[in-house]
Every structure is written in structure tokens, then in C-alpha cells.
Amino acid sequence: MSSTKGFVAEFREFAVKGNMIDLAVGVIIGAAFGKIIDSLVKDVIMPVVSFILGGKVDFTNLFVVLSQPANYTGPHTYADMTKAGAVVLAWGNFLTILINFLLLALVVFCIVKAANKARVKFMKEEAKAPAPTPAEVLLLQEIRDLLKK
């Protein structure tokens, strides 16, 4: 019973310290940032890649049909094929998500690198600044100087 109380007390201390709040803020900002990266890939990068490849290419509709339902005569788009029960290898969608991941990883890497650089700079500045002389030492120095006279 006491171990449960200790666990609850430890969790309460953890939550009150702000770690839970920091984590929640990080998750919320991360989710919003993920949407920004998704839009960047979908609305900016993929159209440029499509243009370079020589036409309007919808990467979500780049797939290979592995098995098609019998007597299927509907459109051959990814959404319609999967809705009809076809087994498809959606490599275009995977490519889009992979680019999303790589961009997100790159941005997170740059943020962490900048934060580490700022932390190292701060630590160097903190190390350069001499520690203030304690009052006792100043008093002893003053007594020493008076005795020398």
C-alpha cells in the first residue's frame, strides 16, 4: 500500500514540476508543425517535382494493382480501387510520406543543432564570467590591506 502512495506522490511531483505541461505543449506544437510540413510537401514540393517530371502527376495516384476485384469497371484511382476492395501497392503515397518525414527530420535536426549551439555559447559565456567574490573574502582582503599600512 505504501509503494502505491509513493508512486502517486512521485507522479504528482512529476506532473506539478511542469514536465507534463512541457510534454503536452511539445506534442501540440509538434502536431501543428507536422501539418505545416504536410502542406509544404503536398502544396509546394510535390507540384514542383511533378512539373520537373513533365506534367501533372498526382503522387497519391501512383500505385500498382496487385489484385483487382472480379468484374470491376470503375475508375482506376487509388481511392476507388481501395474502396472496391482491390489490393494496391501505393508507392506514390509512401513517397509523399517519406518526403514529409525527411523534411520534418531535417527541420528538427536544425532546431536541435541551433539549440545546442546556443546552449554551448551560453555555457562558455557563463564560464568566462568570474564568480563574484564572497563577502567574507572581501572583508578579509580589506583587513589585510589595512594591516599592511
Residue 5 is assigned to a structural domain of this protein: no
Residue 149 is assigned to a structural domain of this protein: no
Determine the pLDDT at residue 46. Answer: 78
Q: Which domain holds residue 128?
A: 58-142
Residue 69 is assigned to a structural domain of this protein: yes
State how many domains the chain has.
Answer: 1
Distance of alpha carbon 101 from the chain centroid = 10
- 87: β partners: 67
Residue 68 is assigned to a structural domain of this protein: yes
* Dihedral angle of Cα 10, 16, 17, 20, to the nearest 10 degrees: 90
Determine the pLDDT at residue 56. Answer: 65
Q: Could you tell me the mean pLDDT of each successive run of 10 residues in the chain, 149 residues long?
A: 78 73 82 86 81 74 87 87 90 85 84 86 74 85 87
Residue 35 is assigned to a structural domain of this protein: no
Looking up cell 501512383 gives: 62
Looking up cell 482506376 gives: 76
The one-letter code for the residue type at 18 is G
- The helix/strand/coil state of 65 is strand
